[in-house]
Structure 1
Amino acid sequence: MDESLRAVPDFKRVILHLDMDAFFTSVEQADDPLLQGKPVVIGQSLRGVASAASYEARKYGIRSAMPIVQAKKLCPHAVFLPGRMSRYREISVKIMNIMRALCPLVEQASVDEAYADISGTRRIFGPPENIARRLKAEILAATNLTCSVGIAPNKFLAKIASDWNKPGGLTFIPPADVPAFLRDLPLGRIPGVGKQFQEELRRIGVTTIPHVLAHPRTYWNELMGKRGAFLHDRACGIDDSPVVPGSDPKSCSAENTLDRDTLDRTLLERWLLIQAERIGRELRGLGKKGLTVTLKIKFQDFSSITRSRTLARPTDITTEIFEAARMLLTAEKLPRPVRLIGTGVSNFRFVQAELPLMPDAGRKRSQQLDQAMDRIRDKFGNKSILRAEAAIRESDAVNDLLSQKNRTSNGQ
């Protein structure tokens, strides 16, 4: 592309970025009124890190990715919780459905943030701020959670704007205000310009956006390659990346980091069953079945292995997922104590696409049991019903593991 053409950003688009405020901890506070106003941290393991911190906890200096040991020193009276990814995902689905109902094109970036291209909606909603206010109001009414919204001519500016007045903010950067906004913007606020990159720039005397703009794009491209060209584009307010609706998940997985390394196979199998419960429910919610079950093990020395097994037919049945994972574990000798164990299901098939097979009464009963348990959990919460083998009392969890660090993810 001609250099002179890139110097003039395309400001015809209107991009909205939604970012939930302290999402994980806000969900916990919304579900339990006793937690409201208290410093809340997601993460309990003394060997782990904080996954999230409420705004009350952040006042004490606690941040995500901070070691739990350090967080407890900063705020001993904070409430440390294990986290409930299935609950966060459940609320996330509600939020994204609200957003898709209002916005013509939505790209979910994570469990708690998304972009929307709202170009051309002025005739329906009026100024861009109107659709943002309506979005915030509908999310608050449906979830009792607040969010921050940024509106700008492109994705990277919209993301910066959503973080500008947190929590509960609404920041609009009109095209005419972009040059002035960027002029005073710290380099570190540009997504993709991390501490290491900033240090490289500082060593050559570049600490502000005007310093970047003092040289043409060709200079930066020759000096730093693609990173340099990227930096100059962002300093000019250029971001051509489109809003792309997300693709379907390719896998579902869950893993647990144990507080004490162990060779206890009974304990490890108990975690596999708990993980199979989460994965099976997620698969059923997605309307998918998987053919491949994967076991992940990380040992005491941080070495890790993965083992997979392809089933005879796709499944979303909890007991079938568990049995496949358990057989993979049984086949391993476990030369060292286990630090982390995880289960995953991939190689998806849609439920409606599955070929009819010979009726299996036992399999049908398992399906009916899973569906009944799903209905109970949907109505009364995730902990309302457990299989006997998976029912770990709270005291057992504290004594055996001290924490549960969950990560249920959709691999892309």
Structure 2
Amino acid sequence: MITEIDLSEIGAPLMQRQISFGKSQIFLREYTKREGLKLFSWRFARRARTHNKVGRTISLGIGYSKDELGDEFHRAKTIDLPTNITMDIYRCCLMLFHKFYAGKTVRSILVTLSNIEDEVNQQLSLFEVDNEKRRKLGFVMDGIRSRYGSKAILRAVSYTPAGTAL
């Protein structure tokens, strides 16, 4: 039997670098269909941009209502070009949602961006001509939110009765 002794200090971080960015949210009420995905706060992509990081693996977890036996699913997709663009992450999550959603009532959601690397190492694509424009748009929106508050720019769905941002 091999015994291993951990000599690290109590409370010291286990890893020195960020391994993922993510957010989970338990909704105040239950949602049907894809409402929950639209209402989810996508602010973790802002944190990735702030740290000049991009990720290749996008994970989606959906928790269903306890009334429907509390079932859930977690799936991930690794993409060719790493990203921190909110709408790229959203589209990937939407694809995962459509593929694995069981038609039950949604109560919670978890989205993570992992397989992290520095943004400066990002390979440009010849086939996505507006990628740089969309990347810059994310930074502009982050700047507005930093200066005027997180509610300065919201998606239209946030102003509906089902919205959670306000």
Task: Please tell me the TM-score bracket, short chain as reference.
Answer: 0.7 to 0.9
Alignment check: 8 A CA contact 2:61 2:110 kept: yes
Other structure's SS at 2:158 match: coil
Greater helix share, 1 or 2? 1
TM-score if structure 2 supplies the norm length? 0.80
The yes-or-no answer on 1:286 pairing with 2:51 is: yes
Q: Deviations over 1:64-85 (max 9, x none)?
A: xxxxxxxxxxxxxxxxxxxxxx
Residues 1:358 and 1:259: Cα distance change in structure 2 (over 3 Å): same
Residues 1:264 and 1:359: Cα distance change in structure 2 (over 3 Å): closer
Gaps of 5+ in 1: 1-238, 405-412
Other structure's SS at 1:379 match: helix
Greater strand share, 1 or 2? 2
Partner of 2:133: 365
Deviation at 1:330, TM superposition (A): 1.1
Partner of 1:344: 112
- Among 295, 307, 310, the residue aligned to 2:78: 310
Q: Deviations over 1:254-277 (max 9, x none)?
A: 122122223232x123124x32xx
User: Within 5 Å, which residues of 2 pair with 1:75-114?
Assistant: none
- Among 95, 113, 122, the residue aligned to 1:327: 95
Residues 1:376 and 1:303: Cα distance change in structure 2 (over 3 Å): same
Residues 1:263 and 1:334: Cα distance change in structure 2 (over 3 Å): farther
Partner of 1:73: none
Residues 1:268 and 1:242: Cα distance change in structure 2 (over 3 Å): closer
The yes-or-no answer on 1:296 pairing with 2:61 is: yes
Partner of 1:249: 18
Residues 1:285 and 1:263: Cα distance change in structure 2 (over 3 Å): same
Greater relative contact order (CA < 8 Å, ≥ 6 in sequence): 2
Which AA in structure 2 matches 1:360?
A: E
Aligned-residue RMSD, C-alpha: 2.5
Which AA in structure 1 matches 2:29?
A: R
Partner of 1:354: 122
Q: Which has the larger radius of gyration?
A: 1
- Among 134, 138, 152, the residue aligned to 1:384: 152
- Partner Cα distance (2:143, 2:36) in 1: 28
Deviation at 1:241, TM superposition (A): 2.5
Partner of 1:258: 27
Alignment check: 8 A CA contact 1:253 1:279 kept: yes
- Partner Cα distance (1:323, 1:375) in 2: 23
Which AA in structure 1 matches 2:28?
A: D
Residues 1:385 and 1:302: Cα distance change in structure 2 (over 3 Å): same
Alignment check: 8 A CA contact 2:62 2:110 kept: yes
Alignment check: 8 A CA contact 2:33 2:104 kept: no
- Partner Cα distance (1:360, 1:262) in 2: 34
Deviation at 1:353, TM superposition (A): 2.0
Alignment check: 8 A CA contact 2:39 2:158 kept: no
TM-score if structure 1 supplies the norm length? 0.35
Q: Percent identity?
A: 24
- Partner Cα distance (2:19, 2:101) in 1: 30
Which AA in structure 2 matches 1:264?
A: K
Other structure's SS at 1:260 match: strand
Alignment check: 8 A CA contact 2:73 2:100 kept: no
Deviation at 1:383, TM superposition (A): 0.9
- Partner Cα distance (2:105, 2:124) in 1: 43
Moved over 3 A (4+): 242-246
Deviation at 1:374, TM superposition (A): 1.0
Deviation at 1:290, TM superposition (A): 0.4
Deviation at 1:342, TM superposition (A): 1.9
Deviation at 1:291, TM superposition (A): 0.3
Which AA in structure 2 matches 1:342?
A: L
Alignment check: 8 A CA contact 2:56 2:113 kept: yes
